């Protein structure tokens, strides 16, 4: 059975391997032992904090095969971004220019550096290893975060964002960054991504163009990738769009990948999830159901057809095996949604 649970220090080797497999541009998992260790420590602190009154938790979960203990992927939530360190984006704006004398009217797009998502929650660090991309694992990694947030809304902002990885080639070269590098920077894309991944962002404020950039002045190659996701990110973006996330004109500073957003209470999986009581009994349902316990420190989530919701009693019947895997007992509360 595939189980979502909070990451722990014993998962370091698996997380490091995932960071290698994720490759260039995956800034939330830098290939740096110290940074990965710190990331796990922050995640352990977040789930051990009973209140998280300041909403600054950094949550990271892993998807584990309960039989083999193999880690298949990761998924995460940053409860509050842009607070301790600015979260920079380019904002795409439309500007009208014209001349009555010449009878010319045009709309031109510009890119302006901003920190508009100050205090938002961010879903991030979703990566499913290639060998396990069949079946429902990707949907579980994406949607389980929303069940966790629905159960613990006090820990998160009302605005939720997701930064989608932008276009880069097999060598990790970004057409958008190549244009920026030529005109404003003297470091390659991999170096820039590494610096951001390790928290070194000062160079952004120091070297990024202070004034809006006309999109039409970019190279054709750079223009073509603005707001476009990396091929490997397209499935994740589609899932978020189904949840109600929208692109409102914000793109990444380095690869111009789109940032999408939604209000927490409007996210489909939040609205469609139900909190109810559990009864542990032998059961075989007719449909797949995603469910999770209500714990933070001992959070567990999964997709199973060995569960069934009874509307009359408002009870979710859960098989003993599933209940054991998710640390559930009869009369415990559970949050679930039909897939």
pLDDT in tens, 200-232: 666 666 767 778 999 999 999 999 999 999 988
pLDDT beyond 80 at 263:
yes
Region 157-182: mean pLDDT is: 88
Same domain, 253 and 302: no
Is residue 139 a part of any domain in this protein?
yes
Are 44 and 175 members of one domain?
yes
CATH number at residue 322: 2.40.40.20
User: In whole angstroms, how far apart are CA 60 and each of 17, 36, 90, 138, 201?
Assistant: 16, 11, 27, 16, 22
Same domain, yes or no, for 329 and 304? yes
- Whether residue 168 lies inside any domain: the answer is yes
Catalytic one among 24, 89, 194, 230? Answer: 230
Express each pLDDT in 276-297 by its tens digit.
999 999 988 788 999 999 999 9
From 236, 269, 302, give the residue that closes a domain: 269
| pLDDT confidence of residue 205 | 65
What is the mean pLDDT of the segment spanning 26-46? 88
pLDDT at residue 315 is higher than 70: yes
Token pair, residue 185, equals 């920077």
Q: Is-catalytic flag, 24?
A: no
Question: CA-CA distances (angstroms) from residue 295 to 22, 127, 280, 298, 326?
Answer: 29, 23, 18, 5, 10
- Per DSSP (E only), the strands in the chain are 2-6, 58-65, 71-78, 89-99, 104-114, 121-128, 159-163, 213-214, 246-251, 258-263, 274-280, 289-293, 301-304, 307-310, 315-318, 333-338
Residue 329 pLDDT greater than 90, yes or no:
yes
pLDDT confidence of residue 202:
66
pLDDT single digits (tens) 37-69: 999 999 999 998 766 555 678 999 999 999 999
Residues 253 and 321 in one domain: no
Token reading at 334 = 């559970």
Tell whether 301 and 315 lie within a shared domain. yes
**Inside any domain, residue 105:** no
Is the pLDDT at 158 greater than 90? The verdict is: yes
Phi first, then psi, for residue 147 (nearest 5°) are -65, -40
**Residue 166: inside a domain, yes or no?**
yes
How many domains are contained in the chain? 2
Q: Are 262 and 243 in contact (CB under 8 A)?
A: yes
Q: Given a cut of 90, is residue 235 above it in pLDDT?
A: no
Q: What percent of the chain has a predicted confidence (pLDDT) above 70?
A: 93
Predicted pLDDT of residue 180? 84
One domain for residues 123 and 188: yes
Mean pLDDT of the chain: 89
Contact 254, 193 (CB under 8 A): yes
**Which domain range does residue 257 map to?**
2-89+115-269
Same-domain status, 144 and 257: yes
Question: Quick check: is 326 in a domain?
Answer: yes
pLDDT given at position 96 = 85
48 and 6 in one domain? Answer: yes
143 and 247 both lie in a single domain: yes
Residues 242 and 307 grouped into a single domain: no
Question: Looking at residues 6-30, what average pLDDT do you find?
Answer: 88
The span from the CA of 28 to the CA of 30, in Å, is 6
Residues in the chain: 339
Q: Which of 247, 269, 291 is the last residue of a domain?
A: 269
Nearest to 71 by CA among 125, 24, 12: 12
């Amino acid at each position: 059975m595939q189980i979502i649970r909070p990451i722990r220090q014993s998962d370091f080797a698996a997380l490091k391997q995932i960071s290698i497999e994720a490759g260039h541009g995956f800034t939330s998992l830098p290939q740096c032992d110290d940074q990965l260790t710190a990331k796990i420590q922050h995640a352990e602190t977040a789930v051990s904090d009973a209140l998280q009154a300041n909403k600054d938790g950094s949550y990271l979960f892993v998807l584990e095969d309960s039989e083999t203990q193999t880690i298949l992927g990761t998924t995460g939530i940053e409860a509050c971004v842009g607070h301790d360190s600015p979260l920079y984006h380019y904002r795409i704006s439309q500007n009208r220019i014209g001349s009555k004398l010449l009878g010319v009217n045009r709309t031109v797009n510009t890119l302006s550096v901003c920190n508009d998502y100050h205090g938002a929650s961010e879903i991030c660090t979703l990566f499913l290893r290639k060998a396990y991309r069949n079946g429902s694992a990707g949907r579980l990694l994406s949607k389980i975060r929303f069940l966790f947030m629905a159960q613990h809304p006090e820990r998160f902002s009302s605005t939720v964002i997701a930064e989608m990885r932008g276009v880069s080639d097999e060598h990790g070269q970004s057409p958008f960054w190549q244009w920026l590098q030529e005109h404003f920077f003297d470091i390659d894309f991999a170096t820039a991504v590494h610096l951001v991944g390790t928290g070194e962002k000062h160079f952004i404020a120091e070297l990024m163009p202070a004034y809006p950039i006309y999109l039409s002045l970019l190279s054709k190659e750079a223009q073509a990738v603005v707001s476009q996701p990396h091929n490997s990110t397209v499935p994740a973006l589609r899932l978020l769009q189904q949840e109600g996330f929208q692109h409102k004109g914000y793109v990444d500073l380095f690869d111009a990948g789109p940032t999408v957003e939604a209000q927490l209470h409007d996210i489909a999986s939040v609205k469609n999830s139900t909190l109810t009581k559990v009864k542990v009994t032998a059961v075989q349902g007719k449909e797949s159901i995603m469910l999770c316990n209500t714990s933070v420190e001992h959070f567990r989530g999964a997709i199973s057809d060995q569960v069934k919701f009874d509307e009359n009693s408002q009870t979710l019947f859960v098989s003993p095996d599933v209940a054991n895997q998710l640390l559930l007992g009869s009369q415990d509360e559970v949050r679930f949604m039909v897939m």
